[in-house]
Structure 1
Amino acid sequence: MADQEAFDQDTELDVAELGTSGGGEDLAKAQTELETLKSKLASMEQEAASLKEFQEKAQQNAGLAPQPESTQEAEEKAQIDGRSVYVGNVDYAVTPEELQMHFQGCGTVNRVTILTDRMGNPKGFAYIEFLEPDAVANALLLTDSTLQGRQIKVNPKRTNVPGMKQIPPHMRGRGRGFGRGRGPPRGGYGYGGYGYAPRGRRGRFYSPY
């Protein structure tokens, strides 16, 4: 009996010594690794938060950037479209000067643009811009009138509305035409057509088409 008690005490002592020696070192090592992982995780979270903040600021700056020039151009384009008509079924041989003469009785023609393809060939339709908005109603009366043997079709010029289907830029043609009339001359080169300003004076060019 005494020998059994002595054996139990020795066993308990060995287990205690094992727990305080090898087990303690393993626990300390595990705690060190855990602290290292926590530190890395905190660093990653901080980097992610900084990146998110940077992206949000970039989006805000892009959305709040003032674009007064674009708004002004859109308003000017709408005004020009309100003074313009679309002319369809135009003979390929018709010149801008002939179109101007055909519509000169409707009002002061400020610009004539005949749309062409990439090769410079006429597409068979044109735009007439007047100085007076009232001239549009007079021009519409010329629909089905004959120009070089063809009955032309005259309709109001439609303003492109954002979000609606539009012709992609690479599908649009260039144009040829000229402008004349009272008021500030329009001339110069631009996408969609080129214009002529009387007496060689060239002002800021804006192509409404």
Structure 2
Amino acid sequence: MDDHDLTVQVLNISPATTREDLTVFFSYCGTVDKIQLKKDNDSSQSAFVTFRQPYAVRTSLLLNDALIGDRHVKINRLPKLTSIPVIFGSSKDHEACPEKLLLFS
């Protein structure tokens, strides 16, 4: 299991909320491994919270719309990542397999 599967996105965080506030809040779900907090604008922040245990992610999702400070936050699972097949080659190769995405250097 990688970090992507152990991470939730938190939206609508008050600018007054600190990383420590988030650590305390989410520690009730399980062990917090790391928190990436970023300012979205003057009135809001967002965060990525990574846990050490899969059950902590599931528990944190139950806290969606909970109050942290003076804000109801949105807690979302990260969308699944999908891979895109890529072939490096020339435009001649592209004609042979048009369903592939080509990157040209």
With structure 1 as the length reference, what TM-score do the two structures score?
A: 0.37
Alignment partners' CA distance in 2, 1:148 and 1:130: 21
Equivalent residue number for residue 6 of structure 2: 83
**Is 1:131 matched with 2:72?**
no
User: Structure 1, unaligned stretches of length 5 or more?
Assistant: 1-77, 164-209
**Which structure's residues are more often helix, by fraction?**
1
Asked if residue 105 in structure 1 is aligned to residue 28 in structure 2, the reply is yes
Q: CA deviation at 1:93?
A: 1.7
* Counterpart secondary structure, 1:93: coil
The 3 A distance-change label for structure 1 pair 122 and 107 is farther
- Cα 1:157–1:94 shift into 2, 3 Å: same
For residues 115 and 149 of structure 1, the distance between their equivalents in structure 2, rounded to whole angstroms, comes to 18
Bigger strand share: 2
Contact 1:115 1:122 survives alignment (8 Å): no
The counterpart of 2:73, out of the listed 146, 152, 158, is 152
Comparing both chains, which one has the higher relative contact order based on Cα–Cα distances under 8 Å and sequence gaps of 6 or more?
2
In 2, Cα distance between equivalents of 1:113 and 1:122: 18
Name the CA distance, whole Å, in 2 between partners of 1:105 and 1:123. Answer: 23
CA contact under 8 A between 1:83 and 1:136: conserved in structure 2? yes
1:143-199 CA deviation, whole Å, 9 max, x = no partner?
Answer: 111011100011112244344xxxxxxxxxxxxxxxxxxxxxxxxxxxxxxxxxxxx
* TM-score w.r.t. length of structure 2: 0.70
Q: Which runs of 4+ in 1 moved over 2 A?
A: 158-163
Please tell me the root mean square deviation across aligned C-alpha atoms, in Å. Answer: 2.2
Kept in 1, the 8 Å contact 2:14–2:44? The answer is: no
**CA, structure 1 residues 151+105, in 2 after alignment: closer, same or farther (shift >3 Å)?**
same
Deviations 1:50-81 (A, max 9, x none): xxxxxxxxxxxxxxxxxxxxxxxxxxxx7111
Structure-2 separation of matches of 1:80 and 1:133: 10
Larger Rg: 1
Work out whether residues 90 and 150 of structure 1, in 8 Å CA contact, stay in contact via their aligned partners in 2. Answer: yes
Structure 2: stretches of 5+ with no match in the other structure: 85-105
Percent of aligned pairs with the same amino acid: 30
Q: 1:140 to 1:125 in 2, by over 3 A?
A: same
